[in-house]
Amino acid sequence: MFPDLTRMLTEPEFALLHHRVLITTDPVYLSRWTSTPQVVSYQRRFMLAAAGAA
pLDDT at 15: 84
Structural domain harbouring 16: 2-53
Q: Residues 17, 19, 22, 23: what is their CA dihedral angle, to the nearest 10 degrees?
A: 80
pTM for the whole thing? 0.44
pLDDT in tens, 35-44: 888 888 988 9
Report the domain count for the chain: 1
pLDDT in tens, 8-50: 888 999 888 878 888 788 888 888 878 888 888 988 998 899 9
